[in-house]
Amino acid sequence: MRVLAFEDKEDIEALLISGGVDFSKLNFEQRWNSENAIDVIHDFAPDILLLDHFMPPMRGLAVLEAVNEAAESGELERPATIVGMSSAGFANRAMSDAGADVAVLKFDLASLDLWPRQG
């Protein structure tokens, strides 16, 4: 499973591992800013795309809208699951309203049923 995270402050790999996610079954990459986000998404071709709302230079909401536009035009294959993740509930609602498949408080990310589990 290919997972791409756009998050500028938290180490998402560490957060998921501490939540019991089995990383041996993931091909994971984290970008610490959203520069060239569409190109990065196109090149990595994630199954799961994790988007932080508050991230420079493009907020996660803007990246999500760009992904939707690129997928509609045929420029990009939309990831199977797009997760909006923020510590702010209003930001998660905005991501959900814009088409995120899941919106979750960032520190609850490991609790989603998306992940392979250790043990």
pLDDT for 118 equals 77
What is the residue-averaged pLDDT of the chain?
95
| Full pLDDT tens readout for the chain, 119 residues | 999 999 999 999 999 999 999 999 999 999 999 999 999 999 999 999 999 999 999 999 999 999 999 999 999 999 999 999 998 889 999 999 999 999 999 999 999 999 999 76
What are the sequence ranges of the domains in the chain?
2-111
pLDDT for 119 equals 66
Cα–Cα distance for residue pair 29/118, rounded to 1 Å: 19
pTM of the model: 0.96
The DSSP secondary structure of 63-104, one letter per residue, reads: HHHHHHHHHHHTSSPPPSEEEEEES-HHHHHHHHHTT-SEEE
Please, are residues 79 and 72 in contact by the beta-carbon 8 Å criterion?
A: no
Joined together, the tokens standing for residue 5 give 């995270």
Q: According to the CATH classification, is domain 2-111 in 3.40.50.2300?
A: yes
pLDDT for 17 equals 94
